[in-house]
Structure 1
Amino acid sequence: MPKNRAITLLSLGHACVDVHQGAVAALVPYFVAERAYSYAAASGIVLAASLLSSVAQPLFGALTDRWALPWLLPLAAATAGVGVALAGVGGSYPLTLATVALSGVGVAAYHPEAARVARAASDGGHTAMGWFALGGNVGFACAPLLVWAVVSPWGLRASPLLGVPALLGVALCAAAVRAAGAQAVGGGAAEGAGRDDWPAFLRLSGAVVCRSVVFVGLSAFLPLYVRERTGGGEAVGTAVLCVLYAGGAVGTLAGSRLAERYGRLPVVRHSYGVTLVAVVGVLLVPGPPLYLFAALASAGLYVPFSLHVTLGQDCLPRHPGTASGVTLGLTVSIGGAVAPAVGALADATSLRTGLLPLLAPPVVAWFLLCGLREPDPAPLASPADAVAVRR
């Protein structure tokens, strides 16, 4: 179980925020079916959710390096929910892009500050940070079910109901801040926190970009691809997306446990090998076994998820908020920028051909991580030290 009440509340709040992030990809098949969007137009919605987030998240991270912003957590949860709630209102494509972009800003504002508070509340432990990351993965896993339950019977016009989890998220985030107490108030890096290793951080960030490209590509198009390969309906697409996301619950905790035994970098490197095998299986294996390879892809993509965050924070001990903003935000969101290119290739050829480029990123990530050494754990600043630094 998580170490303390603050981590538990942060994990639950993380789930309520990320259910809205996962809902964007889950809505794509419904936009294609109900509004006859092309693959490129539908993937543009994923890009809109990612674009502002990719730019804003490192900026929010830099702010949390200088000031503690615990009040931002409930506000961010509300913003993420409002954006998704409005996504299906009206038939205007620009309005849809604007609302999912608003949701992306809420997600961007949430993650760096939440990761900072979680890191402080966990005393830097991999397992506790894994529990925090698990909350986000559970939110992603619940997103397809929520979208299916709301949109399948009533259509996109029922999207305001998708904002309901945000109400719970606001309450949980406020309670988490109270439970964290001085850990939430303290921000910034201590003067003696060690040296930032920017070259190692940039290589790590490149690997996270590769993960993001595969994850977003599969999230956006795997439901449509499985429906095409199996001849199933909307429930088939929802089921495979649940498999892809739900495996993250197991993968995230497994990554933390494996890292404690074998080290973070070896675990992360091997996870990209698993991802490559999984994507090959998704593209080549017909019929129901697709679900098995979707589950394997989930494991390969989620095992390194929380490890990326702690590795980034340890590479930049003086800028943990920036590290969180990049590993949880900028690099993750770049996958959304690649999605329209995958969609355009699928429109010009076939969906299977459009997914073929997803074979390359795991290989690139593996080479980027070769030769990196395990960074020393970053010392955590006390609240008193953090206040002194901010002054």
Structure 2
Amino acid sequence: MPTTTFHSLRTSTRPPRNRAITLLAVGHACVDVYQGAVAALVPFFVAERAYTYATASGIVLAASLLSSVAQPLFGALTDRKPLPWLLPVSTLVGGLGIALSGLGGSYALTLLFVAVSGIGVAAYHPESARIARVASRGGHTAMSWFSLGGNLGFAFSPALVALVVGFGGLTMSPLLLLPALAGSVLCLPALRIVQRGQEATSAAAHPTQTLTSAADDRRSFLRLTLGVICRSVAFTGLSTFISFHMAQSTGWGPAAGTAALVVLYLGGAVGTVLGGRLAERRDRVTVVRRSYLLTVLAVAGVVLVPGPLGYLFVALASAGLYVPFSLQVTLAQDYLPHRVGTAGGITLGLTVSVGGIAAPAIGLLADATSLRTALIPLIAMPALSWLAFRGLPEPAAAIGPPSEEAESP
């Protein structure tokens, strides 16, 4: 793209781009409410339907497994042709599945509805990551704000579930559809803003690709993906069982568990913004690698330190696991500059979905031994992520230098 054209895009679309990032972040929050809601609903399924740890974690698996498989497929689809309409539609599907999950009298129906929600979430992330990267013009902090929206949705979901289901029981779950309705409406003006920006510069269908001639680095992308998977196992394991663990560790009952989930998700929100800021000062690979190394100690504190002090380690572990969150997305897109939809779908979605595959194994081990014993293997996960990122190169950005205006919504 000629320099004059690129400069005119940056100067003519600064305010709209800020609005787009803000709206996309809010929409991301409305979608990721339903990822957090799966773990938040597990204690209520256990209480009302007498599920075991293993059976309850199977619900997490239902949402995660289909989402893990579907997200790369949706990513490949959006690499062929942009599908912005997926954002409002997938938001509604994600919310509808969770809203119906409390009404299914049988375990099979519950799994089905949660799986439907997982497919909706899977369809949302690849295209939203592509659109957010276009709107941010490669700004690390801008992308961290977009990711922050999802993390806030995670953080809000336990409180939302407790408010709706805690007081009214699982039969009140249809009220959980409200964030999806709001998110599907709010993403529409963001899509119009991004579309106008693309039309103003006569950009190709995937403008990020017009700014780079770099080849795809599949080897580095594969190593990054392995690190993301290990990170996903650690976070999903904690989010699924932390409420039970902290309730047992403190002796304060279910309220302690809900508080632990809120701390876990809010810590992630702080870590996401911190990661974007740190990446403006150091290269992304270094920030990610050091964060994972420090997170090993934090996860060990969560599992091994008893009592209220555990909340501090929950916050530190969550922040450490989320510092790499948005950075991994932009790294993946820069490793695969010609397949940004696939890269975004695997990293942005896989980080919160594939870890669910390990949840039933943790549940089985907890049933056979104790919950604390079952959580000990999670300490190794950030260490494995650190190993995966060792020696990874810092890729050239697939998108031109960000404008100052794009750094925050």
Partner SS state of residue 232, structure 1: coil
The 5 Å alignment of 1:283-362 reads 283-330=303-350, 332-362=352-382
Instruction: Name the count of aligned residue pairs.
Output: 380
Tell me the alpha carbon deviations over residues 192-225 of structure 1, each in whole angstroms, 9 at most, x when there is no partner.
5310000000000000001100000000000011
User: What are the Cα deviations for residues 169-198 of structure 1, in whole angstroms up to 9, with x where unaligned?
Assistant: 110111211122245785333495310000
Describe the shift of the 1:171–1:184 C-alpha distance in structure 2 as closer, same or farther (beyond 3 A): farther
Say if 2:158 is the partner of 1:118. no
Question: 1:333-375 CA deviation, whole Å, 9 max, x = no partner?
Answer: 2201010000000011000011011011111111111111101
Determine the C-alpha separation between the residues in 1 that align with 2:29 and 2:162: 18
Find 2:205's aligned residue among 165, 173, 187.
187
After TM superposition, give the deviation of residue 285 of structure 1 in Å.
Answer: 1.1
The residue that corresponds to 2:116 in the other structure is 102
Q: Deviations over 1:113-143 (max 9, x none)?
A: 0111110011111011011001000100000
SS at match of 1:89: coil
Residues of 2 paired with 1:337 and 1:4: CA distance? Answer: 37
**Residue equivalent to 1:375:** 395
Query: Which residue of the other structure, out of 274, 290, 293, is the alignment partner of 1:270?
Result: 290
**Residue correspondence of structure 1 range 42-191 to structure 2 within 5 A:** 42-182=56-196, 187-188=205-206, 189-190=209-210
Q: Secondary structure at the match of 1:262?
A: coil
- Residue 51 of structure 1, CA deviation: 1.0
Per the alignment, do residues 352 and 183 of structure 1 end up closer, same or farther by CA in structure 2, a change over 3 Å counting?
farther
Give the distance between the partners of 2:379 and 2:372, measured in 1 at CA. Answer: 12
* Residue of structure 2 aligned with 1:234, choices 245, 254, 261: 254
> Secondary structure of 2:275's partner?
helix
Give the structure-2-normalised TM-score.
0.90
CA distance in structure 1 between the partners assigned to 2:160 and 2:214 by the alignment: 44
Opposite residue 221 of structure 1, the aligned amino acid is: F
Structure 2 alignment gaps of length 5 or more: 1-13, 401-409
Q: How far 1:163 sits from its partner (Å)?
A: 1.0
Amino acid at match of 1:121: A
CA contact (8 A) 2:247 2:257 kept: yes
Q: Is the 8 A contact 1:55 1:330 kept in 2?
A: no
Paired-residue identity, %:
64
TM-score (norm 1): 0.94
Superposed CA deviations along residues 285-338 of structure 1, whole A, max 9, x for unmatched, are 111101000000111111110000000000001111110011122454220101
Name 1:387's counterpart in structure 2.
Answer: none
CA displacement at 1:53 relative to structure 2: 0.7
Q: Secondary structure at the match of 2:227?
A: helix
Aligned counterparts of 1:28 and 1:81: Cα–Cα separation in 2 = 17
Deviates more, 1:357-366 or 1:8-17: 357-366
Deviations 1:225-253 (A, max 9, x none): 11111222222111000000011221111
Q: What SS class does the counterpart of residue 64 from structure 1 fall into?
A: helix
Contact 2:229 2:355 in 1 (8 A): yes
After superposition, give the CA deviation of every residue in 1:242-266 in whole Å (9 maximum; x if it has no partner). Answer: 0000112211111011011011111
Unpaired runs of 5+ residues, structure 1, are 381-391
Stretch moving more, 277-286 or 301-310: 277-286
Query: Which AA in structure 2 matches 1:19?
Result: V
Moved over 3 A (4+): 182-193
Question: Where does residue 383 of structure 1 map in the other structure?
Answer: none
Q: What SS does the corresponding residue of 1:181 show, helix, strand or coil?
A: helix
Q: Using the TM superposition, give the Cα deviation of residue 279 of structure 1 relative to its aligned residue in structure 2, in angstroms.
A: 1.2
Name the counterpart of 2:236: 216
Return the letter of the residue paired with 2:247: R
Distance 1:314 1:191 in 2: 11
- Amino acid across the alignment from 1:60: F
Deviation readout 1:74-118 (Å, 9 max, x if unpaired):
001000000000011032101000001000011001011011111
